[in-house]
Amino acid sequence: MAVEFSDEAEEEFADLLSRYPNNLAAMLPTLHLAQREFGWVSVEVMDYVAEKLDVHPTRVLQAATFYTMYNKQPIGKCHIQVCTTLTCALMGGYGLIEHLEETLGIKVGETTPDGNFTLSEAECLASCGTAPMFQVTYSDGESEYFENLTEERVDEVVEELNDKLSQLPDPRTMH
């Protein structure tokens, strides 16, 4: 599929540009928008963003590779990011990862073969008072925090996520 913003995305992009004194400054929000539109940030997407912002493609490459929220390869419809820094490490974050590895049948850093789930270890997500926790980022661009987790609660959440899968686009086929 061709890499091109939808009409709504074009509108949002125009609004983004209006917020900054130069195009380069719109880099991070534009990459977020592009990821939401195209599922992940491929070289093709980076080139497109460079064209839109009228900056050299290396500028886009620099930002896309420096910041961890941009996925440089397709990921699952639900990206589960388990915090394991400090308080979450103390309160059971690593246990959640083990449990999710068993439940999903993948290792941390991997995506299920059906493209539904990606499991990652994340650094502190500013949710220490409700540790352990994870964030789920969906392929439609939304995201959600799940906090005060136990293994039982994780099982429930995975069920809820399974129910949601049919409504989510598959990042592998979004461009």
Q: Binding residues for another protein, per CB under 8 A?
A: 19, 21-22, 24-29, 31-32, 55, 59, 62-63, 66-70, 84-87, 89-96, 123-132, 135, 142-151, 157, 160-161, 164
Nearest residue (CB) to another protein, 42 versus 113: 42
**Three-state secondary structure call for residue 135:** strand
Q: Which long-range contacts (CB under 8 A, 24 or more apart) does 21-28 make?
A: 23/53, 23/54, 23/55, 24/53, 24/55, 24/59, 26/53, 27/53, 27/55, 27/59, 27/60, 27/63, 28/63, 28/67
* Phi, psi torsion values for 157, nearest 5 degrees: -65, -45
Nearest residue (CB) to another protein, 4 versus 142: 142
Q: Please, what is the minimum distance in Å from the beta carbon of residue 76 to another protein?
A: 16
Report residue 76 as tokens.
């699952």
Q: Please, what is the minimum distance in Å from the beta carbon of residue 156 to another protein?
A: 8
Q: Please, what is the minimum distance in Å from the beta carbon of residue 98 to another protein?
A: 9
Q: Please, what is the minimum distance in Å from the beta carbon of residue 103 to another protein?
A: 14
Nearest residue (CB) to another protein, 31 versus 104: 31
Q: Please, what is the minimum distance in Å from the beta carbon of residue 158 to another protein?
A: 12
Provide the sign of the torsion angle of the four alpha carbons 43, 79, 35, 25, taken in this order.
Answer: negative
| Spatial CB neighbours of 161, under 8 Å, sequence gap ≥ 6 | 78, 80, 117, 136
Nearest residue (CB) to another protein, 74 versus 92: 92
Query: DSSP state, 86?
Result: H
Note whether 106 and 119 are within 8 A (CB): yes
Nearest residue (CB) to another protein, 59 versus 172: 59
